[in-house]
Structure 1
Amino acid sequence: MADRRSSPRPARASGEDRRPLVADPSPRPWNGDARRRPVAPDPGTPRSARDAAATRRRILNAATAEFSALGLAGARTARIAERAEANQRMIYAYFGNKDGLFDAVLEHNILLVQTAVPFDVEDLPGYAQQVFDFYRANPHLVRLELWRTLERPTSMRSLPLVTSALAHKVAALERAQAAGLVSAVLPPGQLLDHILTLTHGHPMNAGDAASWTDEQRRALAVGVAALTGQPLGGAT
């Protein structure tokens, strides 16, 4: 029997590929070599993958439109990701699940209202009218609030930024009552509940925002004036 150790190895043909037969751990884009296939780009990659804040903002804006139109049950994260030009996985990375995204959308838009319409303890009837005007200009937020009352009615006070903002409003009312600017018939917390019920609850029950009238706007201010003991002042 021939000794295998002494058998000469066959010579490689000229030009034979001498690369080791292992999987390429980092496949490279196709460069025209017929032995390699082109690598398709990931269609879910966001335009600015490095800008997490921008991606999160796009997701929130897209989710606001989706939830306003279809509610929590009808919304689809795939559509939200497509509208936001983001990878669907980023929704779960940032918000955990669809419920978490819905709560984040609520919080984002509630704070948007609060930023656009500051809580003015010296003119609460005027504040109520400004909230009315904001919702009339942004009817999709009215629909979003209606979906919240139907599908996640207890979520509002579990949102930390909203809870903090409410606490600041209560403190502002307490100071205003001590200064004689607001009626002290009700404790500040209860007074705030009634003010918010009028200012934010009225749009929820007023039908299509396109049909809201200036008479409704004035009636809202009159109600808040009666509740707080403040004159109509700048309210019109």
Structure 2
Amino acid sequence: MPDPHTADVPHHKEDRHFVTALARGLDVLACFRSFETRLGNAELAQRCGLPKSTVSRLTHTLTELGYLRMDPEQAKYQLGSSALALAPAAQRGVDVLSVVQPFMQELADLSQGVTSLIVRDRSQMLIYENCQSESYLTLRVAVGTRISGLTTAAGRAYLEALPPAELRQALSAFRSKDGVDAAAAEAIVEHSRAEVRRLGCTTSFGDWLPDINSIAAAFRPGPALPPMTLSCSGPTAIVPAGLLLETVRPRLLESIRGIEAALGSRDH
């Protein structure tokens, strides 16, 4: 099965500023989820949906630059020292998680559902971390899962946190992935904007998956990172819309303020 990232490239075919070769190289690197991951050209070609000959050239180039290294015994690649050098830049995300997790667990316990920290990954949203209540037994959406940017509360909250230029770019990517026309996408944005003004958060009651409710709010983790979102979700039978709006929403908004205050203090 081709990697979900490859669906993003055709969207840019008419963009003369888009460097397809660079995008493909990044797609190859994105297949390596940890420094322990070992993948051969055939596996990478399958995951990226590219010809093996193309992948071979990409892995050769990335190896020459130090982003990959080859295990000659297995004829497979691992992330190399140049990729390792980028890791300190990702440490800020770990710092954010240490601040956010206590708030997430409290919200999960309050809602009897799951609270997720969700970030954008190209044309979708990516579940970065989950916290769930002890009684929560359903909707097991794993960390690393990519979800819709337009039908989920998290994606809608993310869009509302963006400045106009970034909003246009993200909306275009989400539209391409979800197969939504411009008018429908604009209607979603307008509805979400009105919700944020009225409620302080966005909602998705059965829009992403039938019988699944969620609310979400975005926060700014600092100048070095894009907006992130906290989403509280669960099946309608366990987490009804009324519970989310009346009980969970005020605490979600308090949590967002607490997270931004804690992260702001770390930047000084």
* TM-score normalised according to structure 2 size: 0.28
* TM-score normalised according to structure 1 size: 0.31
Which one scores higher on RCO, CA 8 angstroms, separation ≥ 6?
1
Structure with the higher fraction of residues in helix conformation: 1
Structure with the higher fraction of residues in strand conformation: 2
The structure with the larger Rg is 1
